[in-house]
């Protein structure tokens, strides 16, 4: 082979490697942190006034909440959550009727870590032995700290008539 052809080829390859090496080494920069999963039971015991024929209703039990928080390399926190009202029961203080909460909710949010936001969860309150129901609304304040830990607080609740 001709030495004049081999020398520029080796020089060309060496320059290419020197240029690309920092890019290849830096490419896997910061990886995403493993997700943090947590399950919580949020106690709920309140008497709520309504504009319905059931003037007051007492609700007792727990909301079941499951979260998965992923902290991305750029500092964003991605939170996914499932909320379930099945462990909430109620008593009508006007009719003495029994109510059972039914409903699930799904939330997804992202933002800088730490982050805090409000989520309104809606669920049905079905009266036993009838087709009557009410609609419950609970406002949660959800806070995700820099480590991915989640705190949930109920900041409001109300009940609406369905008809």
Q: What is the largest CA-CA distance in the chain?
A: 102
**For the chain, what is the mean pLDDT?**
85
3-state helix, strand, coil in the chain (%, to 5): 15, 60, 25
> What pTM was computed for the model?
0.76
Task: Report the alpha-carbon distance of residue 130 to residue 6 in Å, rounded.
Answer: 91
Give me the sign of the Cα torsion angle 148, 149, 155, 156. Answer: positive
DSSP-assigned letter for residue 33:
P
DSSP-assigned letter for residue 93:
T
Model confidence at 112, in pLDDT bands (50, 70, 90)?
A: confident
Task: Report the alpha-carbon distance of residue 157 to residue 48 in Å, rounded.
Answer: 8
Mean pLDDT calculated for residue range 125-150: 92
Among 136, 130, 129, which residue's Cα sits nearest to residue 90? 136
**3 state SS of 18:** helix
């Amino acid at each position: 082979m001709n030495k004049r052809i081999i020398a520029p080829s080796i020089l060309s390859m060496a320059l290419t490697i020197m240029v690309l090496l920092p890019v290849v080494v830096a490419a896997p920069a910061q990886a995403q942190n493993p997700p943090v999963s947590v399950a919580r039971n949020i106690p709920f015991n309140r008497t709520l006034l309504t504009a319905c024929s059931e003037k007051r209703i007492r609700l007792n039990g727990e909301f079941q909440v499951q979260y998965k928080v992923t902290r991305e390399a750029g500092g964003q926190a991605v939170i996914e959550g499932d909320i379930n009202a099945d462990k909430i029961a109620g008593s009508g203080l006007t009719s003495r009727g029994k109510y059972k909460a039914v409903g699930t909710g799904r939330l997804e949010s992202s933002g800088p870590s730490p982050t805090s936001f409000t989520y309104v969860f809606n669920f049905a309150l079905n009266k036993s032995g009838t087709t009557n129901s009410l609609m419950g609304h609970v406002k949660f304040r959800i806070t995700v700290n820099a480590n991915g830990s989640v705190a949930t607080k109920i900041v409001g609740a109300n009940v609406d008539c369905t008809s």
